[in-house]
Structure 1
Amino acid sequence: MKKRSIFLLTAFLLAFSMFLAACSGGSETSGEKDDDNTAGTEKPKFMSILTGGTGGTYYPLGGAFANIISDETGIQTTAESSGASAENMNTLKDGNAEIAFSQTDIASYAKEGKLMFEGAAVDNVSAIGTLYPETIQIVTTTKSGIKTVEDLKGKKVSVGAPGSGTNPNAEQILEMHGMTFDDINKQDLSFDESTAGIQDGTIDAAFVTAGTPTGAVEGLSATEDVVIIPIAQDKIDALIEKYPYYVKDEVPAGTYGLADAVTTVAVQAMLVVTNDLSEDVVYEVTKAIFENLDQVAHAKGKLISAENAVNGVGIDIHPGAQKYYDEKGISPK
């Protein structure tokens, strides 16, 4: 009888132990499932920043930002090369990344479903903020005799490569001067092709949208007396009122051998983010970037500041980024 009692007790304890083990195992499985299911959480484990080609400016800046975000927020962030602005907006639309570089005008076209985004608007993104200007330079030489935008009438003028952001920049600036592409002999050339054409006399002028100094224009200035055509203040005001992603800018004296600074306009490089990211996450990302710019080695890093990030944005700012700007008392100028 005693042996039977001991046997029953042993069997009971063994069964109880197996029950506990099963419960413990179920709990671990449940925990693993929760860890894997990060997509719906407030703070993701991983994020991607879409940049541009590896030879451009977006890619090294994106790498620096990715390192800062990883270190400051604990979210493992990587920079990915891409086809830049238009491609980046479509990738965000498809939900295949979280943050991206874009020109301000391209982001606006994407949100509004215009131009290259006609019928395919990108409605799930907001801005973190603008970064640095991409200057619209109307390039010619002294021998062309062109001194004003109106002087472009009837001339052979490059408006950028087909499908580029330079094309609508040129169209909108001409619009402010009462002109259309019908008033010029339009040429669709890349920056290098444009400056080569000016040099050999096959075209008269070119629109170039890029950070200054631009390599192709510097190359032209080595053999020609470069002229950058100014845009008058009233035309700048009208342009910005109708197309708020523009900002006033200038090409500094000394650039391309210019004797004086030339007034013009710029669109801007900016960071955009998917609306799926929470206010808290975007706040942390915005704060991390703008309070650690000393870690950005690229020369364009010197032009980036939180104080200027809300100027010329052109689309809605994400609530998380706006929270950071409000804390700092930053508003558009």
Structure 2
Amino acid sequence: MLKRIIAGFALAAVVATGAMVAQASAQTIEWRGGSIGGGWYTIVSGAAKLLEDKVPGLTVKAVPGGGAANPVAVQQGQAQLALSIDIFAAMAAGATGTYQGRPAADKLRMIGQSFGDTPYHFIRASGQTMDMATLFREGRNIRFGGANNGATDEIALRWLLAHYGHTYDSLRARGWRFTLAAYADVAAAYRDNQIDYAFFALGLPGSAVIDMATGRDGELLDIPQDVLDGFKQRYGMGSGVIPGGTYPRFHGTRDVRTLVMATTLVTSSDVAEDVVYRITKAICENVADLPRIHGSLKDYRCETAVLSRPVPVHPGALRYYRERGIAQN
């Protein structure tokens, strides 16, 4: 009898210990992407499910966000993972540029970069004839669409206006009307003939652009070289192309020259090393699954994920990269 009682206590202790371990390993995190209808939101929604499947005990809540706002959300503990842009992550960490006058985001850490790099799209509706320089220098009564106010690409739109010596107000004085909204709403406004030009950034292929092309003809325009050079010099932004055939109805087989942002997966130094290690491991050991989530992820490689470091690499991610021989420090 005594042996059975002791055995019963031992079994209960094992069960209790197992429950405590399971409870301790359970983790819920929030992962912020971009606006609903954009590539980032699709990426985060799909990647959240991948992490839940590959990391036992991890629950990931995918929520909308924005490249400029996401570093602040991570710094303040409102999110544990977020997609951002290399130049915005660096500015947030150093309290410079867009973040000047705000506290430095000193908790910001990165897991990897080029997590679906994001090219800008400058779209001109069929029947419109002005190129970009003529549009901003001479255009009147223009109906123009862009991302939500405060989003990364909306900030870049302000930079673009400044390149040509303008602000929203100076162009409104010439009769311009701006529709700044979620990508899906901008696409609907384009289809419904409420805007004629648009400028925003989406991973390829952008669902909003595909949606725009279903209801109205148009054209993807090259970003002029002086804009590419100016953005590189002032903001450190790179350039690239939207490959021909991405949107057959908008640019056929012609490559389109454009600005490109390096999408960076960021986290906080407050997130446990083991959690970030397991997240990094799950991503790197399932890279082949990423293009099924979004086509822009086809070029993501863990071997090059931390070659450029706009913010420090999280110790958990660095531990995995060291184990793989990808990084030494």
Under a length normalisation based on structure 1, what TM-score does the superposition of the two structures give? 0.69
Residue type of the alignment partner of 1:270: T
Q: Write the distance in 2 (CA, Å) between the matches of 1:258 and 1:272.
A: 33
Q: Which residue of 2 aligns with 1:264?
A: 258
Q: Is contact 1:49-1:62 (8 Å) kept?
A: no
Q: Which residue of 2 aligns with 1:6?
A: none
Whether 1:84 aligns to 2:60 is no
Q: Write the distance in 2 (CA, Å) between the matches of 1:221 and 1:286.
A: 37
Mapping of residues 201-212 of structure 1, within 5 Å? 202-212=194-204
Change (3 A) 1:235 1:154: closer
Change (3 A) 1:304 1:276: same
Instruction: Tell me the CA shift for residue 286 of structure 1.
Output: 2.2
Change (3 A) 1:179 1:315: farther
Q: Which residue of 2 aligns with 1:137?
A: 121
Instruction: Tell me the CA shift for residue 218 of structure 1.
Output: 2.5
Q: Write the distance in 2 (CA, Å) between the matches of 1:211 and 1:61.
A: 15
Instruction: Tell me the CA shift for residue 154 of structure 1.
Output: 4.1
Whether 1:162 aligns to 2:149 is yes
Change (3 A) 1:197 1:171: same
Q: Which residue of 1 aligns with 2:311?
A: 315
Instruction: Tell me the CA shift for residue 125 of structure 1.
Output: 1.7
Change (3 A) 1:284 1:161: closer
Q: Which residue of 2 aligns with 1:8?
A: none
Whether 1:125 aligns to 2:108 is yes
Whether 1:304 aligns to 2:296 is no
Change (3 A) 1:141 1:302: same
Q: Which residue of 2 aligns with 1:251?
A: 242
Q: Write the distance in 1 (CA, Å) between the matches of 2:267 and 2:257.
A: 32
Q: Greater Rg, structure 1 or structure 2?
A: 1
Change (3 A) 1:209 1:311: farther
Change (3 A) 1:133 1:312: farther
Instruction: Tell me the CA shift for residue 138 of structure 1.
Output: 1.0
Mapping of residues 182-331 of structure 1, within 5 Å? 184=171, 185=176, 187-190=178-181, 191-198=183-190, 202-233=194-225, 235-244=227-236, 246-254=237-245, 255=247, 256-259=249-252, 260-277=254-271, 282-296=276-290, 297-300=292-295, 301-310=297-306, 314-322=310-318, 324-325=320-321, 328-329=325-326
For these two proteins, the number of residue pairs brought into alignment is 291
Change (3 A) 1:214 1:95: closer
In structure 1, runs of 5+ residues without a counterpart are 1-27
Q: Is contact 2:52-2:59 (8 Å) kept?
A: yes
In structure 2, runs of 5+ residues without a counterpart are 1-12
Query: Identity of counterpart residues, as a percentage?
Result: 23
* Deviation string, structure 1 residues 217-257 (Cα, Å, up to 9, x no partner): 3333235432222124564344234324x332322212134
Q: Is contact 2:36-2:64 (8 Å) kept?
A: no
Aligned partner of residue 298 in structure 2, secondary structure: helix
Whether 1:152 aligns to 2:152 is no
Change (3 A) 1:154 1:316: farther
Instruction: Tell me the CA shift for residue 127 of structure 1.
Output: 0.9
Residue type of the alignment partner of 1:286: T
Q: Is contact 1:50-1:84 (8 Å) kept?
A: no
Q: Which residue of 1 aligns with 2:8?
A: none
Change (3 A) 1:315 1:253: same
Change (3 A) 1:267 1:165: same
Q: Which residue of 2 aligns with 1:179?
A: 165
Under a length normalisation based on structure 2, what TM-score does the superposition of the two structures give? 0.70
Q: Is contact 1:135-1:249 (8 Å) kept?
A: yes
Q: Is contact 1:249-1:266 (8 Å) kept?
A: yes
What's the C-alpha RMSD, in Å, of the aligned pairs? 3.9
Aligned partner of residue 161 in structure 1, secondary structure: coil
Instruction: Tell me the CA shift for residue 198 of structure 1.
Output: 4.7
Q: Is contact 1:149-1:229 (8 Å) kept?
A: no
